[in-house]
Amino acid sequence: MAQLTADGKVLVVDLAGDAVRAVTGSMVAYEGAVEFAGAGMGGGDGFRAALKRKAGGESLSLMECRGTGRVHLALAARHVVVVDLAGETLQVESEALLAVTSGLRLDVRFAGLGGAAAGQGVATTTVSGDGQVAVLSDGPMIALEVAPGEPLVVDPDAFVASSGAVSTTLVSGVSWRSLVGEGSGEPFSMRFDGSGLVLLQPAER
């Protein structure tokens, strides 16, 4: 079973004859006998997923790393965090995804017009199943908990991923002040209700 370990800005993948899918071109070094092959857009999860991805403008180009050995993955010196999933679903920004183990399914979920207004596109990527996901963040990741009755509001540009039973709504802070150029610089926020975990990066895209 492939094992993902995060070490600061590098993800260490131990392969035992199996495969993981990772962002195209993210390998920086490997030891052992490992082959790299393109795994298509959206990870080859069927034609429908590919179509939805096209429609939603989420582009994610993946490669398959297969073999026995250790692969070091890194992307633009961004920090890496590994999330273990046991049947849950992780919603993640497609550009924050680094690698997924083979037991996980990638799909596209439409976020509605809210996503479009927040500049995220109308679709987000979801990862579900049993396994490990490596998520990238620009700077060390911040995890914040959402509990019933304690909603969390975050900047959409800092949002990386969320898990658990949370619902997302877009909060608009636009007022007449924004229209005359005296806004606070925070015109839209994402509000999370329910119970779960939200991962943020300490930088705004």
Partner 1 sequence: MGFEVVNSKVVRADVSPDRAVLARRGAMLGYSGDVVFRPVHGQGRGVGGAVGAALSRESVPMMATTGSGQVLYGFRGLHVTALDLDGRAPLFVEADRLLAHDADLQTSVQLIASGGVRGALRGAASGQGLFTTQVSGVGAVALLSHGGTFALEVGPGEVVGVDPQAYVGHVGALSVDLRARAGWRDAVGRGSGEAFQLHVTGSGTVYVQASEQKL
| Residues at the interface with partner 1 (CB under 8 A) | 7-10, 24-31, 34, 36-40, 61, 63-64, 72, 74-77
Percent helix / strand / coil, the chain, rounded to 5: 15, 60, 25
Instruction: Give the residues across from 195 on adjacent strands.
Output: 165
**Which lies closer to partner 1 via its Cβ, residue 7 or residue 204?**
7
- Rounded to whole angstroms, the Cα distance separating 70 from 155 reads 36
**Which lies closer to partner 1 via its Cβ, residue 106 or residue 166?**
106
**Which lies closer to partner 1 via its Cβ, residue 12 or residue 171?**
12
**Which lies closer to partner 1 via its Cβ, residue 49 or residue 197?**
49
Here the tokens at position 132 are 């490990």
What's 150's DSSP letter? B
Do 188 and 130 contact (CB within 8 A), yes or no? no
Here the tokens at position 37 are 């092959």
Least separation, in Å, of the C-beta of 134 and partner 1?
A: 13
**Strands 123-137 and 152-154, bridge-based pairing:** unpaired
**Which lies closer to partner 1 via its Cβ, residue 7 or residue 130?**
7
Least separation, in Å, of the C-beta of 20 and partner 1?
A: 12
Least separation, in Å, of the C-beta of 83 and partner 1?
A: 19
- Rounded to whole angstroms, the Cα distance separating 90 from 126 reads 6
